Amino acid sequence: MKYIYLIFILIFSGCSTKNYEFTQTKIVIIKSPKLKFADVGYLRNSQKSIELEIFVAGNAVEKIAINHVICVSAGCMSKRSFNEEYLHASYPEDILQNVLLGKAIYDGQNRVKIDDGFEQKIQNADADIEYKVSANTISFKDKKNAILLKLKDTNE
């Protein structure tokens, strides 16, 4: 019985309320086979977790919370499972949190510094990715898998 209780706590603590150190308002565009949003969102993060709350016409329609698992309105799942279901199975586990935070993906492969950030072009059998991070915009586009993730500062 104590093992069931422990498993219950571990699963649901991944989706519990967090105290975030940083909050930013962004224009968020997400296009994937299962997710489609284009409106304002709030990106909140701390050292250990990230939350993207997406609004359409002023109503919160989706919340994506990332720590050791990824939680969406449908429930919590491992990062690998999230990639398989919402993005692409070949992506590294931490790709979503790295993109949301504007960090390098694929261990910095093909990273080229530009004036106010960097860009990466990743081409392999499973993906054709153009990823660009600048002072006010993060843009991730996978042409092969028809996935677009773009975050832009609202003050631009």
For the chain, give the percent of residues with pLDDT over 70: 87
pLDDT, one tens digit per residue, over 61-97 is 889 999 999 999 889 999 999 999 999 999 999 999 9
* Listed range (38-42, 116-120, 127-131, 138-142) with the worst mean pLDDT: 38-42
Task: Name which residue leads in pLDDT, 9 or 132.
Answer: 132
* Domains within the chain, CATH numbers bracketed: 2-153 (2.50.20.10)
Q: What is the mean pLDDT of the chain?
A: 86
Q: How far apart are CA 143 and CA 88, in angstroms?
A: 12
Tokens of 151: 């975050």
**110 contacts: CB under 8 Å, gap ≥ 6:** 120, 121, 122
Gap between the Cα atoms of 146 and 144, Å rounded: 6
Note the pLDDT tens digit of each residue in 3-58. 454 454 545 554 445 565 778 899 999 999 888 888 889 999 888 889 999 887 77
Tell me which amino acid residue 118 is. F
